[in-house]
Chains A and B, each alone.
Chain A
């Protein structure tokens, strides 16, 4: 035991050998941050393959404008008013459709979960309409609503609505019975029950509905703008394709991706504010 200890401490005793060799340092870093290193390596490999897809003759990728051209195009696009107007329009549609889905979906969901009559009245209708993909509604929406703007917002609304509704019903109908009983014996009336039990107990599911609904909202706004609108990021994306501006297409795709990411992060923040008790032991 003693000899082992002295043997181990011997090398570090001499100052010349105290410094760790570079290769060992790298190995140690890779070992400790394995996920980071692998992730970065994959990204670099991907961008290299993309950049040199044409000379290398990689199928598929070689049809896409290389990253250097995309960066150049994004500089042009980001300094144009067209792009920012498109962003603004899409965001407004998202906000309108998403907010409507919450305002209408959450109360209907709560009502369906807490009132059997309401459930049996509304459920058959929702079960017929729900399996229809919102995108399939676009022609009907264009005919039904007086403006294209309203049609687009309606499609966004529809995309988020079903998720919001289902999550609200799911959350509100699986509340632990002992909460209700505890509240009743503590002297709750119907309003107390709703305000202090049903609503907060459903809130985590409502937040889940918001997060998923926001993702679907972006899918819907892009699809609806491609077909039914003459503004917005979806429209700009399709236009860029039509005029054969390949790099611009990629920039629009990235912009939509980033917008979706940012809005999900914001919704996540809102969700944590709405459910401050969550994520504890």
Chain B
């Protein structure tokens, strides 16, 4: 696995809504190795999604640079440009409801001219079967359940063979049971299709269960507070959740996350009082 090395150098992002400058990200330095699953945790509004959007090419940076396999994909000088080597699975889902499941999956490679419609369809059918959605290809996305939609969206990303998979709290809207099933699905899929993963979540347990590395962000401005390597061997199943090592890591990290959440809460109160 030689593709998918992400590096962040002194990344800084200032938003300027109505002249009030808001520092969203400040001095973010981070390296993610090819094939590594990096989970980002932090309080709401800490700039996690901003960082993901910068990688995806939806937003520019104020300072610093992001490189993918040595190629600069985000700097202050260049305008933001998305690419099919970095595909996002959105927080609220972005399957096109007006098209069939199959169209959603195959539109990427077909629009890029990488596959004929037939090739893409064959490939798509295989992938759908792989995630337990055989026979769903001609349905509309809204005929599917929340968990099924998420699987289709992950398949839509994987068929493009991206160097990095960008997941923005993909399982947030799911119930706890579906969520745990989806987490195992994702880990299984990644065994078959190894990818660098940039995964945003609020859920510390989820981050530790999925991640090879967990990065904790401070509350605004978003800075890296702590980077923890999760030394629990993969493949992992949900039994890991009650193992001593997992609980130990969770205890250590939840103290850090809690401190940041409290700081974010107090900052919010101060802002309200002003």
Interface residues of A (CB under 8 A from B): 176, 178-179, 181-189, 192, 196-197, 200-201, 203, 275-277, 280-281
Give the 6 A-B CB pairs with smallest separation, nearest first.
Answer: A200-B98, A186-B108, A187-B112, A182-B94, A178-B94, A185-B82
Q: With A196-B96, A281-B143 known to touch, is A185 a contact of B112 (CB < 8 Å)? A: no
Is B132 at the interface (CB under 8 A from chain A)? no
Whether the pair B56, A181 counts as a contact (CB closer than 8 A) is yes
Whether the pair B84, A185 counts as a contact (CB closer than 8 A) is yes
Whether the pair B88, A182 counts as a contact (CB closer than 8 A) is yes
Is B90 at the interface (CB under 8 A from chain A)? yes
Whether the pair B160, A186 counts as a contact (CB closer than 8 A) is yes
Q: B255 to nearest A CB, angstroms?
A: 34
Q: With A186-B111, A187-B111, A192-B111 known to touch, is A181 a contact of B88 (CB < 8 Å)? A: yes
CB 8 Å contact bits of B57-88 with A (1 = contact, 0 = none): 11000000000000000000000001110111
Q: With A280-B142, A281-B142 known to touch, is A185 a contact of B96 (CB < 8 Å)? A: no
Whether the pair A185, B88 counts as a contact (CB closer than 8 A) is yes
How many chain B residues have a CB neighbour from A under 8 Å?
Answer: 27
CB pairs A–B below 8 angstroms (24 shown):
A178-B92, A178-B94, A179-B96, A181-B56, A181-B90, A181-B94, A183-B96, A184-B57, A184-B58, A184-B82, A185-B57, A185-B82, A185-B88, A186-B84, A187-B108, A187-B111, A187-B112, A187-B160, A189-B111, A200-B98, A201-B98, A277-B97, A277-B99, A280-B140
Whether the pair B98, A176 counts as a contact (CB closer than 8 A) is no
User: Complex: how many Å from CA A184 to CA B84?
Assistant: 8
Whether the pair A181, B82 counts as a contact (CB closer than 8 A) is yes
Whether the pair A181, B58 counts as a contact (CB closer than 8 A) is yes
Q: A187 to nearest B CB, angstroms?
A: 4
The residues of A that contact B93 with a CB separation of less than 8 Å are 178
Is B107 at the interface (CB under 8 A from chain A)? yes
Q: B104 to nearest A CB, angstroms?
A: 9
The residues of B that contact A192 with a CB separation of less than 8 Å are 111
User: Complex: how many Å from CA A29 to CA B108?
Assistant: 57
Whether the pair B108, A280 counts as a contact (CB closer than 8 A) is no
The residues of A that contact B96 with a CB separation of less than 8 Å are 179, 182-183, 196-197, 200
The residues of A that contact B58 with a CB separation of less than 8 Å are 181, 184
The residues of B that contact A186 with a CB separation of less than 8 Å are 84, 87, 107-108, 111-112, 156, 160
Whether the pair A178, B90 counts as a contact (CB closer than 8 A) is yes
The residues of B that contact A196 with a CB separation of less than 8 Å are 96, 99, 107
User: Complex: how many Å from CA A142 to CA B108?
Assistant: 53
Q: A96 to nearest B CB, angstroms?
A: 30
Q: A196-B96, A277-B140 are in contact. List 8 more A-B contacts (CB 8 A).
A: A178-B94, A179-B96, A181-B56, A183-B96, A186-B112, A192-B111, A201-B98, A275-B98
Residue of B whose beta carbon sits closest to that of A185: B82
Whether the pair B83, A185 counts as a contact (CB closer than 8 A) is yes
The residues of B that contact A200 with a CB separation of less than 8 Å are 96, 98-99
Residue of A whose beta carbon sits closest to that of B80: A184
User: Complex: how many Å from CA A275 to CA B140?
Assistant: 12
Residue of B whose beta carbon sits closest to that of A200: B98
User: Complex: how many Å from CA A275 to CA B142?
Assistant: 13
The residues of A that contact B160 with a CB separation of less than 8 Å are 186-187
Q: B72 to nearest A CB, angstroms?
A: 18
Whether the pair B111, A188 counts as a contact (CB closer than 8 A) is yes
The residues of A that contact B108 with a CB separation of less than 8 Å are 186-187
Q: B107 to nearest A CB, angstroms?
A: 6
User: Complex: how many Å from CA A188 to CA B111?
Assistant: 6
- Residue A179 contacts which of B94, B111, B142 (CB distance < 8 angstroms)? B94
User: Complex: how many Å from CA A192 to CA B84?
Assistant: 15
User: Complex: how many Å from CA A201 to CA B156?
Assistant: 19
The residues of A that contact B82 with a CB separation of less than 8 Å are 181, 184-185
Q: B110 to nearest A CB, angstroms?
A: 9
The residues of B that contact A276 with a CB separation of less than 8 Å are 140
User: Complex: how many Å from CA A186 to CA B107?
Assistant: 7
The residues of B that contact A189 with a CB separation of less than 8 Å are 111
Residue of B whose beta carbon sits closest to that of A179: B94
Residue of B whose beta carbon sits closest to that of A184: B82
Q: A264 to nearest B CB, angstroms?
A: 24
Whether the pair B98, A185 counts as a contact (CB closer than 8 A) is no
Residue of A whose beta carbon sits closest to that of B144: A281
The residues of B that contact A178 with a CB separation of less than 8 Å are 90-94
Whether the pair B98, A203 counts as a contact (CB closer than 8 A) is yes
User: Complex: how many Å from CA A189 to CA B83?
Assistant: 11
